[in-house]
Chain A
């Protein structure tokens, strides 16, 4: 636990001292602040516009950051050979991996909380009622970031940062289109396309299950069982990816 905390806090410190994290964080907060300007072009739907733009900014910025941080997490350490100094300590490689991922998630969590706070302060400033769906959307976004980071993490354990980032970005879009891929392929007359579509659907993480932004925009109530199901889905998928990363990393030779 002691070593785990040291690794996680070090990961957080790395992100904090990374200019990219700082710039993205500041930019996101500035953008969130600017969403108040959008209210000038709308007359009645303050709630919807603020929620749409606010949650959209949070999601895009944090997803970009999650991809950037996770895709370079291991590959950078391996390329620079920093990993030699750390994995030679009396810690398992699995602990090193999980500690690094925890550091990443700690960074994203702090930013998510900060952005969430700015978002709700804005809502209060305009005296707009806050709905539970907004909390759900922000909370479940954390699990989407976790899943995305775990995927970037797996890629990073055996490929370069650029390859990891490109594949993880592709996976993000494909994951949000998983339902459409399934629907389109099932309408095809070709049996092969139907099978390929089904396999793709089941292999890809269904990220639309982790997006509650539409419900938040329309202040729709969300059943707790549905939210818990989505969280369980995202967590299980991410844990499976972390397990895969551990297997790959444990087998790896550092030449």
Chain B
């Protein structure tokens, strides 16, 4: 069956996964609950969440490594386990483990053959990929001699060997040094330039800010935020941080203010309030003969968004079901 050219690379509806654990499979753990996600062509989407959030489970369902308990996942409009959809996908798992007894070049050759390439076109493509991932010099070495960064690169190489239209990457920058992380980011961005859709999961917020067009925040198996990075950051009302001297917090409360954040350090008070509250607060502090040390807008970051989402979710998803 040919793939639908208009179908999005990833379409997930109401996806849930419950693992059965223990010798008698009697213990149930819900790893993912009712996830909805769409990734369009040429888009980089980040799955952000703490450990145990369900990011890797989502990716494993998409790669057909685990079966969903409920809901549906489609790659290019087809089932994740179909060969046609897999031909369009490149995958790098978390802590990839290529065959250690092969050289980097041999592993790319195997990956290419399994993806349907052969002959001169495969040889040529191996050369290109080795250059792209910066592994030409180590291509003849057995993988058992590779560093973690080199393994990560060769794993990315095997994922892009067949020029996929979708890349699924599980923690692609984990364990890499700053230079390795930078190179990995550049490679992902180069793939996006080529029109490849990318879904990657991470708990590293700077990676998401640098790479992603859209982000889905998962906490405890539940999706708590989703949207474009820009929309998510601007949807929050801007906050102002005011540093005061000589005004106790009790007085701020007495004036009827409920700051989103407050901290007293000595006789200094740090407050975060809305724009309007900040303006009236400044007037009241001046009238009260208090001193305003600093007043500045606070840039709402993905980290704030992530931490807000974490405090909101107090559910039992990701824990054992009795």
Contacts and interface: CB of A to CB of B under 8 A. Distances in A.
Contacts of A92: 83
B118 interface: yes
Contact of A86 (B95, B114, B116): B114
Nearest to B88: A90
Interface stretch (B60-68, B296-304, B314-322): B60-68
A14 B97 contact: no
Contacts of B158: 85
Contacts of A87: 64-65
Contact of B64 (A80, A81, A88): A88
B115 A85 contact: no
A66 to B, nearest CB: 19
Interface string A13-36: 110011000000000000000000
Nearest to B80: A88
Nearest to B106: A13
B114 A89 contact: yes
A85 B106 CA distance: 14
A89 B115 contact: yes
Interface in B52-108: 60, 63-67, 83-84, 86-87, 89, 91, 93, 95-99, 101-102, 106
A192 to B, nearest CB: 27
A6 B67 contact: no
Given A10-B99, A88-B86, A254 B65 contact: yes
Interface in A211-255: 253-255
B99 A14 contact: yes
A84 interface: yes
A132 interface: no
Contacts of A253: 19, 65-67
Contacts of A10: 99, 102, 110
Nearest to A17: B101
A2 interface: yes
Nearest to A16: B101
A188 interface: no
Contact of A80 (B19, B91, B97, B102): B97
B44 interface: no
Contacts of B99: 10, 14, 82
B111 interface: yes
B144 to A, nearest CB: 10
B155 interface: yes
Given A88-B65, A89-B111, A254-B65, A13 B102 contact: yes
A82 B97 contact: yes
B194 interface: no
Contact of B101 (A13, A89, A254, A255): A13
B27 interface: no
Interface of B: 19, 60, 63-67, 83-84, 86-87, 89, 91, 93, 95-99, 101-102, 106, 110-111, 113-116, 118, 155, 158
Interface of A: 2-3, 6-7, 10, 13-14, 17-18, 80-82, 84-92, 253-255
Given A6-B114, A13-B102, A91-B114, 6 more contacts: A84-B93, A85-B93, A89-B86, A89-B115, A90-B83, A253-B65
